[in-house]
């Protein structure tokens, strides 16, 4: 996977966006970047927490018009 | 550091309790905890193959939740197993009462377990009951 993978989890509630991200991370290769789109405010806080806990790299999060864009790099 | 251990006992057939149990199991498992779930009583029938019956809401939050795009509790338990290596055990006593065998249950469930073994394995773990 060379391009940044965009995972559209808009409309799903916690922990749906996290589960979608994890499913795609398992398929990704080390070094790949993934961008999660979520409208769930709780997930915007929870996903970075998970990323830090399991040891991937949290690249950033921004909110645009009620949609959080959370970018993660697979590191292992 | 040794991973934390979480034991989840689910006996309710109410939507809110099944949902919260599934959230604890799935998020705990994908976050690196060693998660073991014990399904018994009113919870177990929801894990019989082909039983897609929706769980009834216990209160107003359950009714509200049923109309939203909340991940289904069955899917979250499966996520816990597939993505987080959780173990979901059907209670052997409940299976005896229901007169079903292992083949009647969803394939992602582990082999049936008795309460004695579950309690032994749950020592020194966080225990959550729903």
Structural domain boundaries in chain B = 5-129
Give residue ranges of A with CB < 8 Å to any B CB: 11-16, 18-19, 22-23, 26, 46, 50, 53-54
Architecture of domain B5-129: 3-Layer(aba) Sandwich (3.40)
* CATH number of A5-73, picked from 3.40.50.261, 3.40.50.410, 3.40.50.300, 3.30.110.40: 3.30.110.40
ipTM for the assembly? 0.85
Q: pLDDT of A15-68, one tens digit each?
A: 999 999 999 999 999 999 999 999 999 988 999 999 999 999 999 999 999 999
CA distance A31 to A57: 10
**A1: confidence class by pLDDT, cuts 50, 70, 90:** low
Cβ within 8 Å, pair A54-B32: yes
Cβ within 8 Å, pair A13-B71: yes
Residue of B nearest to A56 (CA): B31
Higher pLDDT, A1 or B10: B10
Within chain B, what is the greatest distance between any pair of CA atoms? 43
CA distance B72 to B55: 10
């Amino acid at each position: 996977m060379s391009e940044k993978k965009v995972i559209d989890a808009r409309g799903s509630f916690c922990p749906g966006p996290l589960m979608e991200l994890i499913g795609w991370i398992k398929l990704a290769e080390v070094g790949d970047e993934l961008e999660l789109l979520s409208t769930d405010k709780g997930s915007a806080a929870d996903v970075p927490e998970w990323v830090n806990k399991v040891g991937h790299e949290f690249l950033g999060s921004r909110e645009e018009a009620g949609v959080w864009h959370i970018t993660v790099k697979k590191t292992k | 550091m040794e991973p934390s251990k979480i034991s989840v006992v689910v006996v309710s057939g109410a939507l809110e309790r099944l949902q919260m149990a599934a959230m604890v199991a799935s998020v705990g498992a994908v976050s690196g905890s060693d998660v073991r779930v014990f399904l018994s009583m009113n919870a177990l029938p929801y894990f019989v193959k082909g039983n897609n019956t929706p769980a009834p809401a216990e209160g107003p939050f359950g009714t509200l939740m049923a109309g939203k795009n909340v991940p289904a509790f069955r899917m979250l338990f499966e996520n816990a197993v597939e993505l987080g290596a959780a173990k979901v055990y059907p209670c052997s006593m409940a299976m005896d009462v229901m007169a079903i065998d292992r083949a009647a249950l969803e394939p992602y469930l582990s082999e049936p377990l008795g309460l004695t073994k579950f309690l032994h394995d749950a020592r020194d773990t966080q225990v959550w009951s729903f």
